[in-house]
Amino acid sequence: MDDFYRLDATAQAELVRTRQVKPIELVEAAITRIERLNPALNAVVTPMYEEARRNVATVDADAPFAGVPFLLKDLGAPYAGVRATSGSRYLKDFVAPEDSELVRRHKRAGLLTLGKTNTPEFGLLPVTEPRLFGPSRNPWDLARTPGGSSGGSAAAVAARIVPMAHANDGGGSIRIPASCCGLFGLKPSRGRMPGSYGLAEFLGVAHVVSVSVRDSAALLDATAGQLAGAPYLAPPSPASFLEQVRQSPGRLKIAFSTTSVTGDPFHGDCLAAVRDAAALCQSLGHEVVEAAPVIDGERFMSAFDDVWFAQLASRVEVLAAALGRAPGEQELEPATRAAYEGGLRVTATRYLAGLNAFAAFTAASVAFFAEYDVWLTPTMGLPPVELGFLDDTKEDPATLARKAYQFVPVTPLFNVTGQPAMSVPLYWNAAGLPIGVHFAGRHGEEGTLLGLAGQLEQARSWANRLPPLLSS
């Protein structure tokens, strides 16, 4: 391996800024890492090497991430002239006509995109095993999932191909793969980042998975902010999210719980991780008590499915109108086809009932966070599962959905409420698999979470924990 893979994005950019290395050196080293490691991981599905090499000449040396190699998830962030498949055979030949606003901000931040990463079809499942590209694998155990839907990005960052990579999160898709791969993953508040799909797509928000907390905070400084006329707005950003990482968050009142939103039990390793994190927070001077808001799990899952499937159906219909044809019988995977057709059956009345349920869950959360600064739970219901755990050729749609909620019983709540939440890699189980812990905060208060994350990172640094793939 080269000399750069142990450095986070901030440290790599500093080498460029001080002219110790040239951006092309970072780019070529990262390309070499992709070529070496990607055959095992299947994380990068669309190389963009020549694009990155051309863009080296345009890098502003004073940009916060000048010359840093980067990867873009193949979902929700079109890059002009590059295919944008969303992990679907339906879009295998679709080429984005222009950059998304987020991609434009990545470029202004100095990032050099080397390729696009694997994702499940339309980001539907919390594992990354699309028929179009095949499964991505977890560098901690190649027989297991890196999570989803930003699984390709997380696998690449965990293997230190790049120090951070684009991810987005409509039900946990930043936090799930961060947990599975031993990374830091912050989902910002609703309205903090430029949106992708307009008024109806309010569950999702984009950011990154990263090795370090400071990288996540500094890129949030560089990319946060909605466009004029956006339907959802977060409270004003602080002067610097990065500065909040460096500051003490003060003494926080942290609630922790060992019961899930959906009512599914947590695996023993996940329970051990959250208890360990609670003890660590207490040792850092925070007030830690066991408590949780009251959420009707069955009502939550029913409402989430109605809204999620309706939004998926709407998106496919928009694509069909743009492409001039509906997806063919073999162009959608069985789970996606079932979700799409189910979404078409969601009436306006049912959709509004789902939104009303979301409002009730949000009110319950707001009341809970009036008393507590942070809520701590396991990120996942299970450790990283083996590939094939969610197989839509073997499970009917209802069984598949139930198993998905067992794996992901917490994260979707904060897409509903719009609150910021993060997965922090503080625990590894006896099998050497990372088990993330999940912290949620009040809407607009990413700074509180980042301050706590910085404190946790200082107390128990994870950056030097490398997966077995790097020593093989």
DSSP codes of every residue in 403-418: HHHHH-SSTHHHHHH-
Give the C-alpha separation, 400 to 325, whole Å. Answer: 28
The whole-number pLDDT of residue 231 equals: 87
Element spanning 427, H or E: strand 421-428
Containing structural domain, residue 170: 9-227+245-471
In the residue annotation, 73 being an active-site residue is answered as yes
Distance CA 128, CA 395 (A): 17
Asked if pLDDT for residue 199 goes beyond 70, the answer is no
> Is residue 378 in some structural domain?
yes
Tell me if 237 is assigned to some domain.
no
Pairing outcome for strands 287-290 and 253-256: parallel
> Which pLDDT score is estimated for 57?
94
Residue 232 lies in a domain: no
Strand locations in 74-131, DSSP E? 112-117
Of the listed 73, 107, 116, 403, which one is catalytic? 73
Can you give the CATH number for the domain in which 281 is found?
3.90.1300.10
Contact 388, 145 (CB under 8 A): no
> pLDDT-derived band of residue 146, with 50, 70 and 90 as boundaries?
very high
Active-site residue (options: 86, 88, 136, 149): 149
User: Please, are residues 264 and 406 in contact by the beta-carbon 8 Å criterion?
Assistant: yes
Q: Is 429 helix (H, G, I), strand (E, B) or coil?
A: coil
Distance from C-alpha of 106 to C-alpha of 115, rounded to nearest angstrom = 13
> Is residue 109 domain-resident?
yes
- pLDDT for 401-428, tens place per residue? 999 999 999 999 999 999 999 999 999 9
User: Over the stretch 231-272, which tens digit does the pLDDT of each residue have?
Assistant: 888 999 999 999 999 999 999 999 999 999 999 999 999 999
Q: For residue 75, what pLDDT is reported?
A: 97
The pLDDT of residue 201 is: 74
CB 158 within 8 A of CB 140: yes
Q: What is the pLDDT of residues 175-194, one digit of tens each?
A: 999 999 999 999 999 999 99
In a domain, 411, yes or no: yes
C-alpha span between 406 and 347 (Å, rounded): 27
Tell me whether residue 18 is in a domain: yes
Closest CA to 207 of 63, 15, 31, 72: 72
User: Do the domain assignments include residue 168?
Assistant: yes
Domain count for the chain, please give it.
1
- Please, are residues 406 and 413 in contact by the beta-carbon 8 Å criterion? no
Q: Is 471 a catalytic residue?
A: no
Choose, from 88, 136, 153, 173, the residue flagged as catalytic: 173
Whether residue 351 is contained in a domain is answered as yes
What's the whole-model pTM score?
0.98
- Reply yes or no on whether 314 is catalytic: no
